[in-house]
Amino acid sequence: MMKRLPVLLILFVVVACSTMPRTDEGSITFIHLNDTYRIDAVEDDKRGGFSRVVTLVRELQGEGRDVRILHGGDFLYPSLESQVWDGMQMVDAMNFLDAVAPLYATSGNHEFDPRGPESLVTALRGSRFDWVGDNFRFDTGDPEADAILKSGFTFTAGGRTVGIFSLTLHENDGGNARPYLEIDPDYMAVAERAIRSFEERGVDLIIGVTHVHMWQDIELAGLKERHPKLAFIVGGHEHEPQHSPGSEAAAVVMKGASNARTVWQIDVGFDAAGNYTVNEKRIEVDEAIPFDPEYEKLVAKWQALLVEKFPFLEARVGTAALRMDAREQEIRTSESSWGNFIVDQMRTAFGQPHAELAFINSGTLRIDDFIEDDILFEDIGRTFGFSSHLRHTTVTGAEFRDILEAGYRGEPYAQGYFPQVSGFRVCVDHSRPEFDRIVSLQVPATGGWAEIDDDREYTLVVPDFLYNGGDGYSIPHDRFASRPASELKYLVLDAILRAQARGRAVGKPITPDNRRIHILADPNERCWGQ
């Protein structure tokens, strides 16, 4: 896996017509994407990738459309490459997009992963695309870099002026709090203030480019009732496609799938009186769309640099016993063999006796691909896009049940907080109210399984991120806990190498008998099929 197709195979070029078609007066076509962590495609090169987006944009331009690209944030981190170049490979790729069609990007929480401002300053200074933001501003110590972020941003296309308001997540909603960053948590007030100023400036159209939760975007979309020029909101943070239809009183809301696996095409037209129409189309970015040969040169350049940095990148470290689905749409909604293998290692991280319970937010596992056949060092590098140190502590059975409820809150679509688990099994009914959805939580007992004992203390290993309240989990801090130790990436690498030395393949199939997570398809179904 992860091998690149030879560039020659994919040299289907969309040839522009020799007579340039006339640009349709005043109409604008937007391509929206969000949460892109790779300069190349994913799923063994079969889905997503900027290269295919470039082809798409060039095709639309060939039809005479004025195309603008919108990015809903999360691109600098996390990834294998970002651990080396602090996101500059993404800046390079986004500059390429911007040269094909102007790109306007908001910032996601991951743009602010580093504690210091240095890499953000480098990214800002290296960007030729526009950074937009209305509820946040930078204070990096470099005023010129700070000024690159534009609020109240407008652009003109085909004689029409468009205003973009842009928002990012405050720490109260899972954003990063950083000393070089100020974020206003009152999204609604900021958006309305920006919209009013656009109205005063007489813009023809207003759109939102955001990185907040879907339900917050839907709330913001209601501003159309008072501000009819608000045409649509596109966003990021969720990694699977989202759509909330528009009406007289609500703007349409859209988000694509991470790594440009799904993007949105939004055609905006105007009549003579200046009334606009919005037509949105969801585009699955797959093998039907060829790579762009020019863009592929950029991919090849960074790939060569990466191999220079990690000569052992393509070294085989182990063997997969089965094809393990670690794509985000799977790993963020259900148990995964790759997730199970990783969380099993967590329980061993602090020596004997092994911890009884462990879990991890699936958002930590970034590979968005299958693990099969040879496991390469690259697979480990891509699974762990950032460092993850582990903590050892204790909780009672009752506390643990409460902690874990957070993993099943909200809608049952792909969520980065969805847990991969070890040392217990859990049965969940999404038709029940939030924080009361765990029907059964069982631990091994003589002769099989038994419900977790509410009063007993259990040993637990979790990433430091979750111990500190990340992703909405609240783990008690009033008893002994280890310092953050044992880096998960190396723990997993070590386990794979040890299995390899013993001639063993890694990973076990999930069967109805051994499954750890049972999401009830219907409330009358029995847990564990009993």
* Of residues 76 and 376, the one with the C-beta less far from Zn ion: 76
Nearest C-alpha neighbor of 74 from the set 23, 115, 108, 113:
108
Q: Coil, strand or helix: which one is 502?
A: coil
Minimum CB distance to Zn ion, residue 238 (Å): 8
Site mask for Zn ion (CB under 5 A), range 15-54, x = bound: ----------------------------------------
235 near Zn ion, rule: CB under 5 A? no
Nearest C-alpha neighbor of 266 from the set 127, 72, 414:
72
Task: Look up residue 388 and give its two tokens.
Answer: 């993850």
Q: Identify whether the C-beta of residue 76 lies closer than 8 Å to the C-beta of residue 43.
A: no
Q: Coil, strand or helix: which one is 154?
A: strand
109 near Zn ion, rule: CB under 5 A? yes
- Choose one: 233-241, 357-365, 385-393, 515-523; the region binding Zn ion (CB under 5 A): 233-241
The size of the interface with Zn ion (CB under 5 A), counted in residues, is 4
Q: Count Cβ atoms within 10 A of the Cβ of residue 269 and give its class: 0-12 exposed, 13-18 middle, 19 or more buried.
A: middle
Nearest C-alpha neighbor of 294 from the set 3, 7, 2:
7
- Choose one: 106-114, 296-304, 456-464, 478-486; the region binding Zn ion (CB under 5 A): 106-114
258 near Zn ion, rule: CB under 5 A? no
- Choose one: 68-76, 181-189, 280-288, 403-411; the region binding Zn ion (CB under 5 A): 68-76
CA 228, CA 246: separation in Å to the nearest integer?
A: 12
CA 405, CA 427: separation in Å to the nearest integer?
A: 11
Minimum CB distance to Zn ion, residue 406 (Å): 18
DSSP of 368-414? -EEE-SEEEHHHHHHHBSS--EEEEEEEEHHHHHHHHHGGG-S-SS-
User: Which residue number is nearest to Zn ion in terms of Cβ?
Assistant: 237
Q: Identify whether the C-beta of residue 72 lies closer than 8 Å to the C-beta of residue 273.
A: no
Q: Identify whether the C-beta of residue 364 lies closer than 8 Å to the C-beta of residue 465.
A: yes
Minimum CB distance to Zn ion, residue 149 (Å): 17
* Of residues 237 and 366, the one with the C-beta less far from Zn ion: 237
Angle between helices 293-309 and 88-100 (to 10 degrees): 170
* Of residues 163 and 363, the one with the C-beta less far from Zn ion: 363
* Of residues 27 and 258, the one with the C-beta less far from Zn ion: 258
- Choose one: 24-32, 154-162, 235-243, 350-358; the region binding Zn ion (CB under 5 A): 235-243
71 near Zn ion, rule: CB under 5 A? no
Minimum CB distance to Zn ion, residue 213 (Å): 9
237 near Zn ion, rule: CB under 5 A? yes
* Of residues 112 and 129, the one with the C-beta less far from Zn ion: 112
Minimum CB distance to Zn ion, residue 74 (Å): 4
* Of residues 464 and 471, the one with the C-beta less far from Zn ion: 471
Residues in region 511-530 near Zn ion by CB under 5 A: none
74 near Zn ion, rule: CB under 5 A? yes
108 near Zn ion, rule: CB under 5 A? yes
All residues at 6 or more sequence positions from 6 whose CB lies less than 8 Å from its CB, including other chains: none
- Choose one: 109-117, 224-232, 430-438, 452-460; the region binding Zn ion (CB under 5 A): 109-117
Minimum CB distance to Zn ion, residue 35 (Å): 6
* Of residues 61 and 109, the one with the C-beta less far from Zn ion: 109
Minimum CB distance to Zn ion, residue 50 (Å): 18
470 near Zn ion, rule: CB under 5 A? no
* Of residues 71 and 437, the one with the C-beta less far from Zn ion: 71
Q: Count Cβ atoms within 10 A of the Cβ of residue 483 and give its class: 0-12 exposed, 13-18 middle, 19 or more buried.
A: exposed
Q: Coil, strand or helix: which one is 137?
A: strand
Q: 33-72 burial string, b = 16+ CB within 10 Å, else e? A: bbbbbbbbbbbebebbbbbbbbbbbbebbeeebbbbbbbb
* Of residues 131 and 270, the one with the C-beta less far from Zn ion: 131
- Choose one: 75-83, 142-150, 231-239, 484-492; the region binding Zn ion (CB under 5 A): 231-239
Q: Coil, strand or helix: which one is 27?
A: coil
* Of residues 108 and 256, the one with the C-beta less far from Zn ion: 108
Q: Tell me which H or E stretch contains 210.
A: strand 205-211
* Of residues 175 and 397, the one with the C-beta less far from Zn ion: 175
Residues at the contact surface with Zn ion, assessed by CB under 5 A: 74, 108-109, 237
